[in-house]
Structure 1
Amino acid sequence: MPLAVYILGFSIFAQGTSELMLAGLLPELSADLGVSVPQAGLLISAFAMGMLVGAPVLAVVTLRWPRRTALLTFLAVFALSHVAGALTSSYGTLFTTRVVGAFVYAGFWAVAASTAIGLVPANARGKAMSVLAGGLTVATIIGLSLGTVIGQHLGWRAAFWAVAGLSALAGAGVLATIPGGRPGTAAGDVREGPSLAVELRAMTSPGLWLSYSTTALTTGALLVSFSYLSVLLVDTTGLDPAWVPAVLALYGAGSLIGITIGGRTADARPFRSLYAGIAGLVAASAALAPAAPIPLLAIPLIFLLGAFGFATNPALNTRVFALAKNAPTLAAAVNVSSFNLGITAGPWLGGLSIGAGLGYPSVAWIGAAIGVLSLATVALAARLSRTGSTVPEPARTGEIRSAS
């Protein structure tokens, strides 16, 4: 695996830490900015808004840019948004910096995914995507807790400065390892560079949009439970709050194991990987709902929730490249938005259930139901693939690894 792919994974870790750490900094933010905790919580929603929109917009804007230039620009803006956030005492300004940071983070995800795919052979794409997405998994295990500890002891602004520093370090790595040529300009390529018209035509594949629906549904099935794990563990399972970080770290460890295994099976057996991961997610969710009051059952199921949920990630990512080889950047961008659609919709549905008085375990039932819908989309995609209805278009001859 090229060093550049690991650098991209580290970059996702740096930025993903910011995405996650705010959940542990809400009391400090609330007290310092003079707003309520729910208002401080809207800063998390601001990040989700920026992520949802940023990927496709920036994918189009930077389509013909050298990928290294695009990645460095995104990292620079992300770092500066955190410097501005650390220096401000205005809630409105901080809200704006969160949207801006998430906007370019989404763009980084889209370009980094197409870059990582182009740096490796076709049979190693799943592993490359597991390394890339593994950066976010490590952020779940380390970044969330470290950001919270820094914020609690040195103030939330120190956590923002730390993210800015990590982003600058990631930028140095990108500058040193990512090829600097324009995409699609290798010798012998039939085009001078990526074409928006060509990418848009490649985006018309019905199988591609079916794959996006699988991404959104699978993510929603996982996030509807994950978003409420902390309160479920305290209010339903009866754990002391001091044990919650350890259980969440166990979830993160399961996620890392799952994404590692998924990265090794996604290329050779994408549909089997999706079937196994989503079916496991459905089973773990359905079991967690009745088992939530019993710690000895709930805690292992939370580990399995992370393992099965993240095992699908490499296949969800590489599938879109197989279906839209002529649209690597735009296809990846819309997939990023699909992930964020699930991230937004899952917790919202869970909140409706809790608000209706159905209790915290009800979110796991919702996760199982959404997972069943996701399995149906995989079954339909597999059927279309067997009948040749989603045959991917011919691959471009130019690859990023020869564009340096």
Structure 2
Amino acid sequence: MPLPLYLLAMAVFAMGTSEFMLAGLLPDIASDLDVTVGTAGTLTSAFAVGMLVGAPLVSALARDWPRRSSLLGFVLTFAAAHAVGAITTSFPVLFGTRVVAALANAGFLAVALTAAAALVSPVEKGRALAVLLSGTTVATIAGVPGGSVLGTLLGWRAAFWAVAALCLPAALGVLKGIPAGREEREATGRPALRAELAQLTRERLLLVMLLGALVNSATFASLTFLAPVVTGSARLGELWISVALVLFGAGSFVGVTVAGRLSDRRPGAVVAVGGPLLLIGWPALAMLADEPVALFLLVFVQGALSFALGSTLITRVLYEAAGAPTMAGSYATAALNAGAAVGPVIAAATLGTGAGDLGPLWASGLLVAVALLIAFPLRTALTAGRSTEAFR
């Protein structure tokens, strides 16, 4: 894999740290800004909504910009949003900074996904996506738990400052690793924006986007509210939240790495095996959450399965959107973040039910079940056509 791809992954690491670290900071943010934990959880949804809306919008605006300038501008905007978030005492302002950061992240990821696909051969998109998403998985292993520990020791604002600082070497990586100029955009012969948007009328593209969104919503539903499970159901101290996040991140790294080698040629094997196991895993985690050893083991397994299945489906989005070379990355980003926006909202609604802290885990199981119910009867449509073979 080419070096610029790893430099893009470094920037994704900084952004992934911000996106996921709230799972360990929500109780402190809620206490400091005098809101409920459920309300604080909407910060995750705000970020996801900003990315969902921003991905196609920013991609459409930036499709004629040089990639290096676009990526650099997005990283610096992301850093500025975190600096403002670190000093505010207002929850609405913090909410707003999450939306701005999300727009910057959406633009970056949409352009980076397209850039990553362009850096490799047409049959290696899955491996390129795995390298790019490794920035996110490494964030869950190192950055997110580090942010959680930093938040526990020095307060959640220190974690926001740390993310802002992480963006600086990421910006340098983009500056040094991505060629300047417009020649890489391959503007000659590129489809018009209307033609690229028309790809969204294709049934298979919409279906794979929906499945990816559902799986990702299940992931974020539980990950966002993992801290209360660790400190409540398992009756462990706050520092154990970081252990759980490290294990989830380690699992996600394993999952996306393995899936990256299968999603180009054998995506059906990932879905056929990973889907049912993921479905079983969320209820099992809910039932065994009061047993720390079982909790941590299942957190690792669910991280691996969630990212293996999710990254495979997102890879299929890039294949299905091959007719939209400058917008395909935004469609994949939108699918990811539609789930990330809906999942925490559904999970927050379960916190006030009899399920309590375990409600998000049951909600995740239900979301995966819906995805599999949709995928099974439509598997013929999903496999139709030699260009996709999505569930071969």
TM-score with structure 2 setting the length = 0.88
- Residue type of the partner of 2:247? L
Q: Aligned residue for 1:397?
A: none
Instruction: Output the CA distance in 1 between the equivalents of 2:157 and 2:363.
Output: 37
Q: Aligned residue for 2:94?
A: 94
Asked whether the equivalents of residues 225 and 367 of structure 1 are also in contact (C-alpha less than 8 Å), the reply is: yes
The equivalent position to 2:296 in structure 1, one of 296, 299, 302, is 299
Instruction: Output the CA distance in 1 between the equivalents of 2:307 and 2:81.
Output: 29
Asked whether the equivalents of residues 151 and 158 of structure 1 are also in contact (C-alpha less than 8 Å), the reply is: yes
- Following superposition, the deviation at residue 298 of structure 1 comes to 3.0
- Following superposition, the deviation at residue 65 of structure 1 comes to 1.4
Instruction: Output the CA distance in 1 between the equivalents of 2:89 and 2:290.
Output: 42
The equivalent position to 2:372 in structure 1, one of 362, 370, 375, is 375
Q: Aligned residue for 2:341?
A: 344
In structure 2, relative to structure 1, the CA distance for the partners of 1:380 and 1:125 (3 Å cut) is farther
Instruction: Output the CA distance in 2 between the equivalents of 1:28 and 1:237.
Output: 19
Structure 2's unaligned 5+ residue stretches are none
Asked whether the equivalents of residues 56 and 327 of structure 2 are also in contact (C-alpha less than 8 Å), the reply is: yes
- Following superposition, the deviation at residue 211 of structure 1 comes to 0.5
Asked whether the equivalents of residues 224 and 367 of structure 1 are also in contact (C-alpha less than 8 Å), the reply is: yes
Q: Aligned residue for 1:285?
A: 282
In structure 2, relative to structure 1, the CA distance for the partners of 1:306 and 1:52 (3 Å cut) is same
- Following superposition, the deviation at residue 45 of structure 1 comes to 3.9
Q: Over residues 339-381 of structure 1, what are the superposed CA-to-partner deviations in whole Å (9 max), with x where a residue is unaligned? A: 2221222232233333221344454333233212222343355
Asked whether the equivalents of residues 213 and 338 of structure 1 are also in contact (C-alpha less than 8 Å), the reply is: yes
Instruction: Give me the identity figure in percent.
Output: 40
Q: Please tell me whether residue 199 in structure 1 is matched to residue 196 in structure 2.
A: yes
In structure 2, relative to structure 1, the CA distance for the partners of 1:206 and 1:184 (3 Å cut) is farther
Q: Please tell me whether residue 311 in structure 1 is matched to residue 308 in structure 2.
A: yes
Q: Aligned residue for 1:147?
A: 147
- Following superposition, the deviation at residue 244 of structure 1 comes to 3.2
Instruction: Output the CA distance in 1 between the equivalents of 2:348 and 2:176.
Output: 45
Matched pairs, number? 387
Q: Aligned residue for 2:248?
A: 251
Instruction: Output the CA distance in 2 between the equivalents of 1:169 and 1:324.
Output: 32
TM-score with structure 1 setting the length = 0.86
Question: Which structure has the larger Rg?
Answer: 1
- Following superposition, the deviation at residue 119 of structure 1 comes to 0.5
Q: Over residues 42-76 of structure 1, what are the superposed CA-to-partner deviations in whole Å (9 max), with x where a residue is unaligned? A: 54443233222111110111112122221111112
Q: Aligned residue for 1:271?
A: 268
Q: Aligned residue for 1:401?
A: none
The root-mean-square deviation of aligned C-alpha atoms, in Å, is: 2.6
Q: Please tell me whether residue 36 in structure 1 is matched to residue 35 in structure 2.
A: yes
Asked whether the equivalents of residues 203 and 331 of structure 1 are also in contact (C-alpha less than 8 Å), the reply is: no
Instruction: Output the CA distance in 2 between the equivalents of 1:183 and 1:207.
Output: 32
- Equivalent residue runs for 1:144-223 within 5 Å: 144-182=144-182, 186=186, 191=189, 193=190, 195-223=192-220
In structure 2, relative to structure 1, the CA distance for the partners of 1:161 and 1:291 (3 Å cut) is closer
- Following superposition, the deviation at residue 325 of structure 1 comes to 0.8
